[in-house]
Structure 1
Amino acid sequence: MIKIIAVLCSLSPPENCYEQTVTTSDFADVSMQSCLMGAPQLAEWMKQHPAKRLAAWRCVIGKQHGRGA
């Protein structure tokens, strides 16, 4: 299973950033190549979170424990 770990920042204050695992049914079949290229699903997910800015993302295989950004 591929997981996308997004680094999200608040729009105010913008330096308030954190990592979040993006988990929705839209990401169930994402491939590593698609993830590395910026999975189109990620753009759709961001539309649902307009108060956040996507600063970065990374792709991991298997389970991932959250880290502070």
Structure 2
Amino acid sequence: MIKIIAVLCGLSSPANYHEQTVTTSDFADVSMQSCLMGATQLAEWMNLHPAECPAGWRCVIGKQDGRGA
């Protein structure tokens, strides 16, 4: 499984960044190529979370333990 980890900042505090896994079981078919090329799933997730501002993303193969890097 490939997970998309977004680097986000809140619109109310743009200097504070945090990481968030934006893929769910609905996006289990994410390929590494689609993740690296633009992360359509990230755009869909951002539509559901308008208070977040994306600063970037990374692709992770396998499990992610939830800790920021």
Pairwise TM-score range, normalised by the shorter structure? 0.7 to 0.9
* Equivalent residue pairs, number: 69
| TM norm structure 2 | 0.87
Q: Deviations over 1:19-67 (max 9, x none)?
A: 0111323321010000001221211110100000011100010012233
| TM norm structure 1 | 0.87
The match for 1:31 is 31
Q: What is the CA RMSD across the aligned residues, in angstroms? A: 1.5
State percent identity of aligned pairs.
81
The structure richer in strand per residue is 2
Unpaired runs of 5+ in structure 1? none
Moved over 3 A (4+): none
Name the aligned partner's letter for residue 22 of structure 1: V
